[in-house]
Amino acid sequence: MPATAIAALPLSQQVFARAPQALVVVDPVADRLISANEAACRLLGDAAPALVERPFSHFLGATLPLWVCFTDEALSRSSAWSDDLVLLDLKRQPRHVEVQAQVLDEGRLLLTLVDRQKAEQRRARADLRRQHRRGQVGWERVEQVFERIERQNQLILGAAGEGIYGLDAEGRTTFVNPAAERILGWSSEDMVGHGAHQLFHHTQADGSHFPVQQCPIHASFSDGQVHRVDDEVFWHKNGEAIPVEYTSTPIFEMGRLVGAVVLFRDIRERKRAEQQLRDALAEVGSLKRRLELENQYLQEEIKAELNHREIVGESAAVAHLVRQIALVAPTDANVLISGESGTGKELIARAIHAGGTRSDRPLIRVNCAAIPRDLFESEFFGHVKGAFTGAVSDRPGRFELADGGTLFLDEVGEIPLELQSKLLRVLQDQQFERVGENRTREVDVRVIAATNRELREMVEAGAFREDLYFRLNVFPIVSVPLRERAEDVPLLARHFLVRACQKFNKPGVRLPPAQLEVLKRYPWPGNIRELENVIERQVIVAQGQRLAFDDLLAADTAVPFAPEGEGASVSGPLAEENEAPLLTEPELLRRQRASAVAALRACAGKVSGQGGAAELLGLKPTTLRSRLEAWRIDPRDYRAS
C-alpha cells in the first residue's frame, strides 16, 4: 500500500500496517487470509491484495495438520505460541516461523510471525557485538567457537561414506574427504590445488575424451544450478574406471558464485548387482521359454493317446521287436528304425525312451519332412535375436530342449545334405552353436531316428552322408509291415475298436469273427495307420452294433495296393476298365508281381528316380519297395541283367 494511502488511515490501522513484526489476520473456519501488513507481505513475497485473494491453507503446504492443531489450541485458550511451524511463500519456498496467535472477535486470529532464520542471524550479530564490547577475551571465545565448528565439520567429512570434495571457481580442488581419497586412490596432497576434471574426470566410460566444457560439475560454476548425474565414471589413480553417481552443488558468497561442492558415490557394487539381476532374469526367461516349449511337446504326447510301452501283437515279428527294445532301451545307443509309413515307428521310439534311464526327461519329436529347408538349422540348434529376419527373440532348438532326454528324428532321410555335417558333429561331440551365436553349448542327448526310405541307397547315390548313416545306425530296428504279421490284425482291430467306441461315444459295437477274416485277407498297404483309420470310419458310419468290411476287399480288387489314391498303371487289359477280364485275387496278385519284375528288368534294377520302375508303373517308390519286400524280390538281382 502506498505511503500516502497509509497516512490517510486511522492511527490504529497505521500501527498495524507499519508494525515491524509480520502481522496477519485470518479466519480459520472460512480458510481466509483477511489482512496482512507490510512486513507480512515481505515475508510471503507479494502485496496485500494478492495475498488476501488466496485461501490461508495455500501457504501451509504439508504442515497443514500442525497448523490445524495450533489454531484449535488458540481458539480454545484465546492465545497460543509455537516455534516449529512452516509457511510457504508465493514461490513455494518454506519459511520456518515463530508464531504468536491472539483470538479477535468473530473467531478471527491475529498471528504475529517471526522468520526464525533472520531472528537467529540477528541474535548472532548481537552476540558478536556483545563479544566485541567485552574485548579480546570475547574474540578468543568466538575463535574457540569457530575452531570447534571446524573440528565438527572435519569429523563429519571424515565419517561420511560418500566421497566429497570442493572446487573453486577455476575448477581447482580446495578440500577432499578421506572417502574420496579411498575411492579414487589420489591423496589430498595430489588433489588440492589441481584441476579435478583433468585429474580423474577427463575421459568418458567408452574411452572418448571428455571436454571440460561439457562437464556437468563445471556447469555449476556458470549456471549456478545443482547438477545430478546417475551414471558416469571417475578414473582411479591406477587407471581403473570407477562408475559413480554424483551431485554438484554451487557455493555462493555474498551473492557471488565462488565454487562448488561435489558429493559422489561408488556404484560398482550396484552395477554388479544390476548385471547379476539382468543375467538372472535372462536365465529365468530362457528357462521359462524352454519349459513352455517342453510343456507344449508333453501336451502333444498326451494328445497322441498312445501308451509308450504299448505294442499290440502276438506274432513272432512283434515278439522279436519287443526283445530288441528290451535290449537297447537301457543303453544310450543311437537307434535307427526303418520301415514303411504307418507301421508304428514312433510308437517303437516312445517305447525305447520309456524303457530307458532318460524316461523322466522329455522325448522331443522332430518331423524332418515338415521343416522348410532354410529353417532346419534354426529348428535343430536354435537362434539368437536378430540372427535372421523374423528372429525377434532368442529361441532354443530341439537339441537344447532334449538335453538330458531323447530326440526322435522322424523321416531323417529328409535332412538336407549340407546340414548333415552339423548334425554329425552334435552326435559325435555333443556340442553345437545357435544360429547367429559364437558360444558353444554342450548337450547330453540320445538320438532315435526313423525313416521309410532306403538310407543305404541314398548313401550310394550321394544324398546321405555315410558317416552320419553309421552314427545313426548303431542299433537298427525294422518295423515290420502289417501284411507280414496278419495274425496280429484281430488284436489290433479290437484294440482300435475299443478306443474308437470311447472316442465317438458309441459303446457296444462289435467285430464279428467273419469280418476279422476279411481284415486279415486285406494287404494293408497303409499298415497300422490305415487299419486304425478304417476301424474309426466304420464305427462312425455303423448303423447297428456290428461292423462290416465287405467293401474293403472290393476296393482292393478295383485298385490294388493304392491306399493313397494311386492307380495301378500297368500295361495290358488292366489299363482299360471296359475290357478288364474277371480275375481272382491270387491271379491279380500274380499279374502285379510279374509286372513289377518286368519293370525292374527294363530299368536294370532301378526303383526310384527318373526312369525307375516306380515311374514306369505309376507308383510311389515307397509303395513299390513295400510290395517288393512283401514278394521277397531284391532289385539288385536285376541290375546285371
Residue 111, in any domain of the structure? yes
CATH number of domain containing 434:
3.40.50.300
CATH number of domain containing 182:
3.30.450.20
Query: Domain total for the chain?
Result: 5
* Residues 111-167 pLDDT 10s: 999 988 888 888 888 887 776 666 555 445 545 554 554 555 555 555 566 888 888
**Where is mean pLDDT largest: 10-19, 407-416, 511-520?**
407-416
- Which among 235, 260, 363 is positioned nearest to 306, based on CA atoms? 363
**460 lies in the same domain as 507:** no
Residue 183, in any domain of the structure? yes
* Residues 467-492 pLDDT 10s: 999 999 999 999 999 988 889 999 99
**243 lies in the same domain as 213:** yes
**254 lies in the same domain as 313:** no
**108 lies in the same domain as 192:** no
Residue 70 has pLDDT above 60, yes or no: yes
What mean pLDDT comes out for the span 34-57? 82
**555 lies in the same domain as 590:** no
**How many CB atoms lie under 10 A from the CB of residue 183?**
20
CATH number of domain containing 507:
1.10.8.60
Specify the pLDDT at position 444: 92
Specify the pLDDT at position 574: 34
Q: Which three cell numbers stand for residue 528?
A: 497300422
Domain boundary among 99, 120, 141: 120
* Residues 593-628 pLDDT 10s: 888 888 888 888 888 887 788 888 888 888 888 888
Q: Of the given ranges (42-56, 195-209, 453-467), which has the lowest mean pLDDT?
A: 42-56
| Percentage of the residues of the chain whose pLDDT score is greater than 90 | 12
Read off the pLDDT band of 570 (50, 70, 90): very low
**498 lies in the same domain as 464:** no
* Residues 368-423 pLDDT 10s: 888 888 888 888 888 888 888 877 788 888 898 889 999 999 999 999 888 898 89
Q: Which domain holds residue 251?
A: 159-266
Q: What is the DSSP letter of 24?
A: E
The CA distances from residue 564 to 107, 125, 379, 556, 576, in Å, are: 103, 110, 29, 12, 21
Specify the pLDDT at position 218: 85
What mean pLDDT comes out for the span 22-48? 85
Three-state secondary structure call for residue 3: helix
Residue 572, in any domain of the structure? no
Q: Of the given ranges (199-203, 299-303, 518-522), which has the lowest mean pLDDT?
A: 299-303
Domain boundary among 444, 463, 479: 479
Residue 282, in any domain of the structure? no
Averaged pLDDT of the chain: 81
What mean pLDDT comes out for the span 198-202? 87
**332 lies in the same domain as 432:** yes
Residue 180 has pLDDT above 50, yes or no: yes
Read off the pLDDT band of 11 (50, 70, 90): confident
Residue 209, C-beta contacts closer than 8 angstroms, at least 6 positions apart: 202, 203
Amino acid symbol at 543: Q
Domain boundary among 453, 479, 505: 479
Residue 336 has pLDDT above 90, yes or no: yes
Q: Which three cell numbers stand for residue 99?
A: 508464531
Residue 450 has pLDDT above 90, yes or no: yes
What mean pLDDT comes out for the span 308-324? 82
More confident residue, 230 or 573: 230
Residue 92 has pLDDT above 70, yes or no: yes
**318 lies in the same domain as 243:** no
**436 lies in the same domain as 469:** yes
Give the separation between CA 69 and CA 67, rounded to whole angstroms: 5
Give the separation between CA 113 and CA 187, rounded to whole angstroms: 50
**386 lies in the same domain as 374:** yes
Q: What is the DSSP letter of 599?
A: H
Q: Of the given ranges (322-326, 334-338, 559-563), which has the lowest mean pLDDT?
A: 559-563
* Residues 218-248 pLDDT 10s: 888 778 888 888 888 898 888 888 899 898 8
The CA distances from residue 73 to 78, 110, 554, in Å, are: 8, 14, 110
Cβ-contact 528, 342 below 8 angstroms: yes
- Which among 598, 526, 538 is positioned nearest to 566, based on CA atoms? 526
pTM for the full model?
0.45
Give the separation between CA 420 and CA 259, rounded to whole angstroms: 71
Residue 53, in any domain of the structure? yes
- Which among 454, 381, 391, 385 is positioned nearest to 419, based on CA atoms? 381
* Residues 524-569 pLDDT 10s: 888 888 888 989 988 888 877 888 876 665 544 443 433 333 333 3
Residue 280, in any domain of the structure? no
Give the separation between CA 290 and CA 401, rounded to whole angstroms: 6
Residue 91, in any domain of the structure? yes
Q: Which residue has the cell 565454487?
A: 259
Residue 116, in any domain of the structure? yes
**221 lies in the same domain as 101:** no
Indicate the burial class of 17 (C-beta count within 10 angstroms; 0-12, 13-18, 19 or more): buried
**425 lies in the same domain as 315:** yes
State the DSSP string of 54-108: S-GGGGTGGGHHHHHHHHHHHHHHSEEEEEEEEEE-TT--EEEEEEEEEE-GGG-
More confident residue, 408 or 521: 408
